Structure formats: structure tokens, C-alpha cells
């Protein structure tokens, strides 16, 4: 919906008048430029163009992911869940979650953990436990985990909701439209905040990080899965060749959209590298910031804690 | 933008602070490096104003309060006000929301990440009987401190971290008790114990600390034996044994009678005797071996007694302490037996030499012709 895109703009303009020259170096004027792939565009135009890109690719998003990464993106997302190791009762906020991959995996992980725990406790039950369980068959003392998928783009959320309905896993899932730079949630709400392959599309990354800090509970964890710099030079050459030669072609053939996928590979190159992003995370106020490289640096998993 | 909303929310929560904030909170990225320098002064300012703060049970409003408070200070110190300070002493009822920046400065108002992790692990110990030595216990511990269960992600070793923390805690408790006893002896208020008794009491005190967790202790021992935990667990064990021998009066590292006051036991510990740290000191080989033998013996006693304790079902672990007594007696007997064997051996050798000389005299081989 257009409202979240417009709203912050109006407020920004009015505050500019109110405070004169803002103390922040990042002033609120309209002639600030940012990158859109290898182009330079005015800031608010970037948000619009990103919106259009994802509106176009939404239907074929999952298919294209599989084709471009040869299915490896599933391993990356599984690695994110493995590192996350969510405890029972954790609340997840998946920003730029679109088609809901992370949220589905999260719910499945928590459910299988619960089943395993229940099975383990069944094995070593004393007579007292068995007799007390007889009466209360369906007791569910442990708090249920829930996942909220937030995305600025309604088309992506629609695709995600369709997937959830078709697989029948809609319990514990919510779908919310929202802007990563200004989340529609109160403070201290979530245990885990994830953003998978979405933060490079955000116009003001530090604002998104600050919002993440705000909505996390004390002790909560910020996790970001994003394309990053490949460390090995040989692999880097191959990766560049593959990115610029193959991916837009795949985009044209499968999804009928060359330019969106050209934007994709260009935006990867414009995103800060592992160390710099880690520094940004620390500067926002997260602690114990660290990263793991996956697939030789093609993807980096950054993590930080709100303490 | 979001910061403005945050400030507005904070302002709403605290009408007493008076109307609109005077200036927007500065959120300069370049000020973030200044933040670390200014945090000292900012926190001290907050400390002064803390006394008239109404006691707050909810952590959310506490957090917001400090955000608004620090935004006021922002205008004077130009620093990013996202954290508040609190001395470690008064953290009992409230969750401590003050944390340290990355440089790890030590001040009594700061808490480093390590200290926070230690607090979480200590809180987790009370959930061990219920959940075992596992991530669930750590998650429950974090929750009692008001932190989300996601903070368990800080502990990469999971249950290993918990067990090692517990062992380190027990060892330091034992060291305190032994130091206290030592002081009593120095002051003349208590009688010095014999070595065997001292060792027995020290090992018993240390093993009694396991009693609250004895049900789950086999799991803890198996965790300690995992390959990635073995270096740490061996280090703790050797520190423990070293400390016990130090307080038992073992000064076998002294050179030629001069007393070098040893530094506090747990610092700069290695597996080597101090002889190897100063190789230019000349000492007889037997004394050097003594250092290793004593520690090896005590390690053996401690480990075997620990194992016996696991399957002991007698009242107050009587069988275990009897076993401990017997093992220590064995070692004492062994030491005296060794001495006897040595002197007997010397006597036998002398006798044989005498017999040989007599034989030579008798056969006339000893004469000079």
C-alpha cells in the first residue's frame, strides 16, 4: 500500500521545516542520491523501483531462487535456522520475508524440537508421570512459538500466504505489511529478528538496523542472511562471470524480466562487505556481532544481540 | 525518523519530564565513535540523577526512561544514548540493562559481555535438575534475568559452557574456603592440620558442592569428556589440584631454603612445575619429581572419589568419604613404604658390598703384590 511509503516522507519534510538544518549528516532533503544497482537515483525513487521489481518477480520468485542458486539457497536458509537454534516459545519477526521461507522453516524446526523433546521425556517417565499424563492428554504447558512475516510488498506476501494455505501450515503465522525502516510494531516484542536477502534493498540500512534494535526484546537476536564478498579470488572470478552472464539470462527465460535480475546482481555488488556490515551492526548498538561465511563468502550470516 | 517516533513514545511515557524535548536526539553515525569516549561521562551524569528516579519494576518503561533521560544528556554530551549504567551491586530485582561497549573497559559501573554471560550461566544452574546440562537450562536462566531465550545463541559450546562455568565457580569457592582456613592458621586461631587430613577435608568440601546436581552429574562428566571440552576440563582439574597442594603447604618449588612468596594460585597456571619456569635453579631430581607425583596422586584420588560418589546411595555419602579416607591412607602408606624400600635397599647394597670386600680379602685378591 502506498501509505507507508508516503507517510514517512511527509513527516520528514515537515520536520525539516521545523528544525531548520537537521543535526544529522544524513539530511532529509529530497536531492539525496543513493544506488539502485549500478545506477544512481534519488532516495525515495529507490523504494518505488524496488517495490516494482519485487512486484514483477513475486510469482516466479521461488522458482528463480532455485534456478539461480542451483537449489543452494535452501541450504543457506537451513544454516540460518541451525545457527539460530530457536528455543520453545520464541517469537520470530521475519522482515522482508515475502514468500515466507524462513518463517516456515522456523515453525517446522520448533515443532520437530518439541516432538523430539516429548519423545525423550516419554522414554524416562516414572509411574507417577505416566499416571498424571493419562488424565491430561492434550496438555500444552509450554508456550507456543509464533512467526510474523513482514514485507513492504503485498504481492510477495500474497504468494507466501498461498504457499502457507496450500501446505496447511498457517498456525502460528501472521502476515503483516510494513517498511523495514519503520516497523509497525511496539518496542521489545520479538525474540528473533531475521532479514534474509532483503536488507540490501532497503534505502537506509542503518535505520532498518535501529528498528531491529527497537522491536527486539532485551537478549533478543538479530540475524541477517545476505549476499556478500567472496574471499577467494578464483571463486570470485567465476562468481562474477556467473552473476553477470547467466542470471539475467535465466531471468529473461524463466520470469521474462531481464532488468529485475540485472538489478539483483548489481545490488549485491553495492552492498557493504562482511567486516563493514559487522561494524554497522555494532555501531547500531548490538553486542557480540559476528558473521559466518557460507559457500566461500557468497552469502554471509551476520548476527548480533540486543543486550 | 524512527528515532523521532521512539523519542515521542518515550516522551509520552514520562509526562513528568516536561513537554517536548528541547532538541532532537543526535543520531550521527560519526558520533558513534565519540559515543564510546563519552559513555563514561554520560553514565556518571546518569548516576547522579538516578537517586530521584522512582523504582520501576517493568523493564520496558525502565528502558524508555533511560532512553529519554539519555536523549536529554545527548545535547550536552553529543553521544548516542541507547544504554544506561547500573552498578553491579544493585542488580538483584531488576534486569540489568546496562552493557559495555566493545572495547571492554573495566569500571565498576560497567558490565562486560563475559560478566553478563557468567550471570546467565549462574542463573541457569538452578534449572539444571529440571532440564539437565543443556541449552534449555540456559534459556530458562536467561529468562529469569529478563533476557529473551534467543540470547543463548551467545554460547557456542552450549552445555559445555554451563558445566565449565559451574566447575570454575566451585573451584574458586574452594580456593576461598582454603584461603580463609589458611588465614585462620596464620592468625593462630586454628590448629594446622596434618597433610593427609587437610587433603581429605579439601577433597570432601569440593565434592560436596556436587551434591545438589548429583542426579545429573553423570551427564556433566560425559560433557567434560567430549574432545572439544577436554583441554578446558583438564585445565580446571589441574588448577584445582595445584591449589589444594599449595594450601596443604607444599612448597617444593622453593630453592635452597629461600622462601619466594608465590603469586595467587590461579594466575598464570600451567601444567609444569615452577622448576621449569626457572630452569637455572639447581634442584635434586627427586624433589622435582615430587611436584608431579603429588599432583598426579591427588588427581587420581579426586577422580576416583568423584566416580564413587556417582553411584553412592548411603546416607550423606558416607561410603564415599570412607573410600576417600582409604585412598589417602594408601598414598601415605605408599610414601612411607617407598622410603623404607629405599633405606632397605641402601642397607642391602651396603651389606653386599661388605660381603664382596670380605670375600676379596679372604681369597687374597685385595693384596698388593
Provide the grid cell at A167: 501446505
CB contact under 8 A, B24 and A26: no
Question: Pairing mode, if any, of strands A216-227 and A287-294?
Answer: unpaired
**C-alpha cell, B201:** 577435608
Q: What residues form DSSP beta bridges with A305?
A: A221, A287
CB–CB of B148 and A219 under 8 A?
yes
Specify the residue for cell string 589458611: B182
B27 touches chain A (CB under 8 A): yes
Across the interface, of A211, A221, A285, the residue whose CB is closest to B153 is A221
Judge whether B95 is closer than 8 Å to chain A, CB to CB: yes
Please state, in angstroms and rounded to a whole number, the distance separating the CA atoms of residues B124 and B122.
Answer: 5
Strands (E), chain B: none
pLDDT tens string, chain B, 369 residues long: the values are 555 555 555 555 555 444 444 444 444 444 444 444 444 444 444 444 444 444 444 444 444 444 444 444 444 443 443 344 333 333 444 444 444 444 444 434 467 888 999 999 999 999 999 999 999 999 999 999 999 899 999 999 989 999 999 999 999 999 999 999 999 998 988 888 888 999 999 999 999 999 999 999 999 999 999 999 999 999 999 999 999 998 987 766 543 333 444 444 545 556 776 666 665 655 555 555 578 888 999 999 999 999 999 999 999 999 999 999 999 999 888 888 888 999 999 999 999 999 999 999 988 887 776
Are the beta carbons of A307 and A287 closer than 8 angstroms?
yes
pLDDT value of residue B10: 52
Compare all CA atoms of chain B with the CA of A120 and give the residue at the minimum distance: B131
- Cβ neighbour number for residue A95 with a 10 Å cutoff: 29
- The CA distance from B115 to the nearest CA of chain A, in Å, is 12
Tell me if A288 and B64 make a contact (CB, 8 A cut-off).
no
Q: Any CB–CB contact under 8 A between B6 and chain A?
A: yes
Beta bridge partners of A291: A302
Chain A: nearest CA to B35, how far in angstroms?
9
Contacts of A11 in chain B (CB under 8 A): 1, 4
CA distance linking residue A113 with residue B99, whole number of Å: 32
Alpha carbons B287 and B253: distance in angstroms, whole number = 8
Length of chain B: 369
Q: Of the candidates A207, A213, A303, which has its C-beta nearest B153's C-beta?
A: A303
Q: Is B124 on the interface with A (CB under 8 A)?
A: no
Distance CA B88, CA B96 (A): 8
- Which residues, 6+ apart, have CB-to-CB distance to B281 below 8 Å? B255, B275
Q: What is the interface size between A and B, counted as CB pairs within 8 Å? A: 113
Residue A298 CA: distances (Å) to CA of A46, A61, A84, A196, A230: 24, 19, 20, 14, 5
CB contact under 8 A, A305 and B154: yes
Number of helices (H), then strands (E), belonging to chain B: the values are 13, 0
User: CA A226 to CA A294: how far, in whole Å?
Assistant: 10
Distance CA B69, CA B49 (A): 9
* Interval A273-292: pLDDT, tens: 999 999 999 999 999 999 99
Contact A285 B97 (CB under 8 A): no
Minimum distance, in Å, between the CA of residue A283 and any CA atom of chain B:
6
Judge contact between A104 and B168, C-beta under 8 A: no
Sole residue written with cell 597442594? B245
CB atoms within 10 A of CB B215: 11
d(CA A98, CA A60): 12
Ordered per-residue pLDDT tens for chain A, 307 residues: 444 444 444 444 444 444 444 444 454 555 688 888 888 888 888 888 888 888 888 888 888 888 888 999 999 999 999 999 999 889 999 999 888 899 999 999 999 988 888 887 777 777 777 777 676 655 455 568 899 999 999 999 999 999 999 988 778 899 999 999 999 999 999 999 999 999 999 989 999 999 999 999 999 999 999 999 998 899 999 999 999 998 989 888 888 888 888 888 888 998 999 999 999 999 999 999 999 999 889 999 999 999 8
Nearest to A87 among B3, B102, B139 (CB): B139
d(CA B165, CA A184): 40
Nearest chain A Cα distance for residue B32, angstroms: 6
For residue A223, list its beta bridge partners: A194, A303
Nearest CA in chain B to A222: B150
Angstroms from A247 CA to nearest CA on chain B: 35
Determine the residue of chain A that is closest to B23 in CA distance. Answer: A19
On whether any CB of chain A is under 8 Å from the CB of B239, the answer is no
- Is the ipTM, as predicted for this complex, more than 0.85? no
Site of grid cell 613404604: B337
Is the minimum CB–CB distance between B115 and chain A shorter than 8 Å?
no
Residue B50 Cα distances to A170, B38, B46, B89, angstroms? 47, 18, 6, 15
Q: Contact, A14 vs A187, CB < 8 A?
A: no
| A145 and A91 Cβ atoms separated by less than 8 Å | yes
B149–chain A Cβ distance below 8 A for any pair: yes
CA distance B103 to chain A (A): 11
In a mutational test of the A interface, the residue from B1, B5, B103, B157 whose CB has the highest number of chain A CBs within 10 Å is B1
Pick from B2, B28, B64: CB nearest A210? B2
Contact between A23 and B136 using a beta-carbon 8 Å cutoff: no
* DSSP per-residue codes, A166-180: HHT--TTEEEEE-BT
Grid cell 504481492 in the structure block, residue: A155
Contact B84, B70 (CB under 8 A): yes
Taking CB atoms and an 8 Å limit, are B150 and A15 in contact across chains?
no
Q: Which three cell numbers stand for residue B270?
A: 600451567
Amino acid at each position: 500500500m502506498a501509505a507507508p511509503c508516503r507517510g514517512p516522507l511527509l513527516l520528514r519534510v515537515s520536520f525539516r521545516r521545523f528544525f531548520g538544518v537537521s543535526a544529522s549528516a544524513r539530511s532529509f532533503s529530497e536531492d539525496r542520491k543513493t544506488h539502485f544497482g549500478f545506477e544512481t537515483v534519488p532516495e525515495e525513487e529507490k523504494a518505488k523501483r524496488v517495490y516494482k521489481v519485487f512486484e514483477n518477480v513475486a510469482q516466479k520468485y521461488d522458482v528463480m531462487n532455485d534456478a539461480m542458486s542451483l537449489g543452494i539457497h535452501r541450504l543457506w536458509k537451513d544454516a540460518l535456522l541451525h545457527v539460530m537454534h530457536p528455543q520453545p516459545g520464541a517469537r520470530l519477526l521475519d522482515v522482508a520475508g515475502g514468500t515466507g521461507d524462513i518463517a516456515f522453516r522456523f515453525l517446522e524446526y520448533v515443532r520437530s524440537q518439541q516432538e523430539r523433546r516429548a519423545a525423550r521425556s516419554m522414554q524416562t517417565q516414572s509411574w507417577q508421570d505416566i499416571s498424571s499424563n493419562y488424565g491430561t492428554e492434550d496438555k500444552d504447558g509450554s508456550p507456543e512459538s509464533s512467526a510474523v512475516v513482514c514485507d513492504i510488498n503485498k504481492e510477495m506476501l500474497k504468494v507466501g500466504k498461498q504457499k502457507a494455505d496450500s501446505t496447511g501450515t498457517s498456525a502460528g503465522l501472521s502476515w503483516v505489511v510494513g517498511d523495514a525502516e519503520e516497523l509497525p510494531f511496539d518496542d521489545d516484542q520479538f525474540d528473533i529478528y531475521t532479514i534474509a536477502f532483503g536488507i540490501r534493498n532497503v534505502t537506509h540500512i542503518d535505520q532498518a538496523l535501529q528498528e531491529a534494535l527497537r522491536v527486539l526484546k532485551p537478549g533478543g537476536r538479530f540475524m541477517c542472511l545476505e549476499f556478500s564478498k567472496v574471499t577467494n579470488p578464483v571463486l570470485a572470478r567465476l562468481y562474477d562471470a556467473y552473476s553477470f552472464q547467466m542470471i539475467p539470462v535465466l531471468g529473461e527465460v524463466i520470469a521474462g524480466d531481464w532488468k529485475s535480475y540485472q538489478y539483483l546482481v548489481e545490488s549485491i555488488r553495492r552492498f557493504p562487505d562482511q567486516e563493514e556490515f559487522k561494524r554497522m551492526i555494532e555501531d547500531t548498538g548490538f553486542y557480540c556481532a559476528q558473521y559466518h561465511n557460507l559457500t566461500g563468502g557468497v552469502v554471509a550470516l551476520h548476527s548480533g544481540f540486543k543486550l | 525518523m524512527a528515532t523521532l517516533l521512539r523519542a515521542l513514545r518515550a516522551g509520552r511515557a514520562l509526562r513528568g519530564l516536561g513537554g517536548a524535548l528541547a532538541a532532537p536526539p543526535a543520531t550521527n553515525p560519526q558520533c558513534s565513535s565519540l559515543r564510546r569516549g563519552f559513555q563514561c561521562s554520560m553514565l556518571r551524569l546518569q548516576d547522579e540523577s538516578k537517586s530521584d528516579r522512582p523504582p520501576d519494576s517493568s523493564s520496558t518503561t525502565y528502558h524508555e526512561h533511560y532512553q529519554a533521560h539519555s536523549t536529554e544528556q545527548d545535547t550536552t554530551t553529543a553521544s548516542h544514548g541507547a544504554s544506561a549504567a547500573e552498578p553491579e551491586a544493585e542488580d538483584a530485582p531488576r534486569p540489568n540493562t546496562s552493557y559495555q561497549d566493545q572495547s571492554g573497559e573495566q569500571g565498576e559501573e560497567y558490565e562486560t559481555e563475559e560478566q553478563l554471560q557468567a550471570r546467565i550461566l549462574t542463573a541457569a544452574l538452578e534449572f539444571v535438575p529440571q532440564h539437565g546440562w543443556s541449552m534449555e537450562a540456559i534459556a530458562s536462566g536467561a529468562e529469569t534475568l529478563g533476557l529473551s531465550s534467543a540470547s543463548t545463541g551467545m554460547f557456542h559450546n552450549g552445555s559445555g559452557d554451563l558445566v565449565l562455568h559451574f566447575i570454575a565457580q566451585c573451584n574458586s569457592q574452594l580456593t576461598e574456603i582454603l584461603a580463609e582456613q589458611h588465614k585462620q592458621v596464620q592468625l593462630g586461631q586454628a590448629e594446622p592440620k596434618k597433610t593427609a587430613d587437610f587433603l581429605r577435608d579439601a577433597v570432601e568440601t569440593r565434592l560436596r558442592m556436587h551434591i545438589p546436581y548429583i542426579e545429573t552429574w553423570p551427564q556433566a562428566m560425559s560433557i567434560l569428556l567430549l574432545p572439544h571440552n577436554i583441554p578446558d576440563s583438564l585445565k580446571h582439574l589441574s588448577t584445582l589440584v595445584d591449589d589444594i597442594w599449595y594450601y596443604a603447604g607444599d612448597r617444593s618449588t622453593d630453592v635452597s631454603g629461600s622462601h619466594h612468596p608465590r603469586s595467587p594460585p590461579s594466575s598464570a597456571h600451567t601444567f609444569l612445575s615452577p622448576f621449569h619456569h626457572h630452569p637455572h635453579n639447581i634442584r635434586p631430581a627427586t624433589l622435582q619429581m615430587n611436584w608431579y607425583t603429588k599432583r598426579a596422586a591427588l588427581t587420581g584420588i579426586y577422580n576416583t572419589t568423584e566416580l564413587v560418589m556417582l553411584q553412592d546411595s548411603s546416607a550423606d555419602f558416607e561410603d564415599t568419604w570412607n573410600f576417600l579416607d582409604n585412598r589417602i591412607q594408601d598414598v601415605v602408606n605408599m610414601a612411607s613404604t617407598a622410603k623404607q624400600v629405599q633405606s632397605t635397599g641402601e642397607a642391602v647394597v651396603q651389606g653386599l658390598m661388605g660381603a664382596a670386600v670380605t670375600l676379596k680379602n679372604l681369597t687374597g685378591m685385595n693384596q698388593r703384590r
